[in-house]
Amino acid sequence: MSAPRPQDPNARAGWVDWLERRINLSEIFSFLTHFGFVITPVDTSRPVREVMRELAETPVPKYASGPRVLGLLTAILFALEAVTGVLLAYYYKPTPEAAFESTRTIVRDLPAGWFLHQMHAWGAWLLAAVVVIRLLRLFWDGLYRAPRELLWWTAVAMVWLVLQLDFTGRLLTWDAHSYWATVRGMEVVFALPIAGPILAFLLGGRVVNDDVLIRFYALHVMVLPTLYAACVYFTFATLRRVGLSPTPEGRPEATTTFRSHLYTMLMLTVGLFGVLVTLATVVPFRFLSAADPYVTPGGVRPPWYMLAPYAVFQWLPVPHWISGLVLLALAFGVLLLPLFLRGDGSPASRRRIRLAGVVVLAVWIAMSAAGALLERR
């Protein structure tokens, strides 16, 4: 660590220098950059002002625009979810007796509580959409091929985590639909041949009760977000090694300064915030009645990402353990895509793979539509 230099004419003897003499600020800054602020390594032996000034003028490739922005959105939306989630956790009580009441207190009685609740719900909706669209984009551009397998796996893991965050978060409100959607989902999970009993043990039994609720809560606020943050780190760690996704052929890489990149990111955050506020105000999620373990309401459907398997299993009444296995196989199948779809890199093989992807996606969308319209048997 270099000594502070009070003789430097540019340095002001302010709180930064006061701190700089006591802790290595560049080191902290460097740590933060690992989560995506900057993709160049930081020299931690120099004072933070100098590092940042130099960094601000460093040319960086534009990655806050075009399809690359999707990766950035997964991080920004997650940060918004974390902030609103923490504020919600101040008032939420994870017991079956108090869960619904405390949620209603937040939404109905707290000033701006409805706003936090709706922001969190819409943020989750957008985050799920963004991670899925990002996965589709990575597939479309063949970004699962060497050397980007880790990027793909991380992206798949992020989809898993977001869907599980959504699944666990849904139960927390303990309203009629979330409760029964969870009961139905857990039936499939617990029926898995070997994993089922283990999961039943880890999630607190086969009956959706207070044990399950507190475990879902712990998963939702601690375990899964931590894993997701680790995934964000991994994403940028791979990017630092293998580089950003290549630009389309024949187009040169546009560069910008790090300062303007930061501004772009700030604008993106503000814009996203505006979109969320608009959605939360104009199309708020309906507030439902409390869960009753003895009354199943009509019209309970799984969330949008599970509508396709829901439609299939409604048509084909197979045992739960088979449907669970099929879903598990699908999830792992997507993960292992780089091993199956290598191709020879020629435009022809790439077209074939893309076509297959489009067909699978079209079938999935059609089945989802069927699931949304299907009358429950």
Partner 1 sequence: MTTTRRPSALWRPGAGRGGAVASGLVPPPALTALALALLLLPALAALALAQPGNPTPAVSGSAPKSPASGRCGVCHPAERVQFEKSQHAEEDVRCTSCHGGDDRSLEVAIAHGAGFKGRPARKDIPALCASCHSSESRMRAYNLPVDQFALYQTSGHGRRLARGDTRVAVCSDCHGAHDILPPKDPASRTFIPNIPKTCGACHGDSALMGPRGRPDVLRQYLGSVHARELYDRSNLRAPTCVSCHGVHGAAPPTIGDVDKVCGQCHTAERRYFMAGAHHPATNGKRGPECASCHEAHTVEAAQPDRLASSCGQCHAKDPKTLALGRRIWTDYRSAADEVEKAAALTAQAEAVPLQTDDYRARIEEARTYLREALPAAHAVEEDVVAAFTTRARSVGHEVQSEIYGKLGHLRQRKFVLILFWFYLLLTLFVLKRYRDQGARKA
Question: For binding to partner 1 (CB under 8 A), which residues are involved?
Answer: 56-57, 104, 107-109, 114, 256-257, 259-260, 263-264, 266-267, 270-271, 273-274, 277-278, 281-282, 284, 286-289
- The dihedral through the CA atoms of 366, 371, 373, 377 has a sign that is positive
**Shortest separation between residue 58's beta carbon and partner 1, angstroms:** 10
Report the residue number, 32 or 56, with the smaller CB distance to partner 1.
56
Q: How far is the CB of 137 from partner 1 (least distance, A)?
A: 25
- Quote the CA–CA distance of 198 and 200 in Å, as a whole number: 5
- Residues 289/176, Cβ–Cβ less than 8 Å: yes
Q: Which is nearer to partner 1, 27 or 97 (CB)?
A: 97
How near is the Cβ of 108 to partner 1 at its closest, in Å?
Answer: 5
Question: 103 vs 182, which CB is nearer to partner 1?
Answer: 103
Q: Based on CB atoms, which residue is closest to partner 1, 117 or 134?
A: 117
Number of other residues whose CB lies within 10 A of the CB of residue 274: 10
Cα–Cα distance, 253 to 173 (Å, whole number): 47
CA separation for the pair 30, 242 (Å, rounded) = 19
Q: Minimal distance in Å, beta carbon 274 to partner 1?
A: 4
Nearer to partner 1, 264 or 349 (CB): 264
For residues 97 and 213, give the distance between their C-alpha atoms in angstroms, rounded to a whole number.
11
Q: What angle do CA 230, 19, 29 make, to 5 degrees?
A: 25
Structure tokens at 273: 């915030």
Report which of 247, 227, 255 is spatially closest to residue 62, judged by C-alpha positions.
255
Closest separation between CB of residue 123 and partner 1, Å? 17
Tell me the Ramachandran region of residue 273: left when phi exceeds 0, alpha when psi lies from -120 to 50, beta otherwise. Answer: alpha
Q: Of the two residues 28 and 267, which places its CB atom closer to partner 1 in the complex?
A: 267
Q: Closest distance between partner 1 and the C-beta of residue 301, in Å?
A: 17
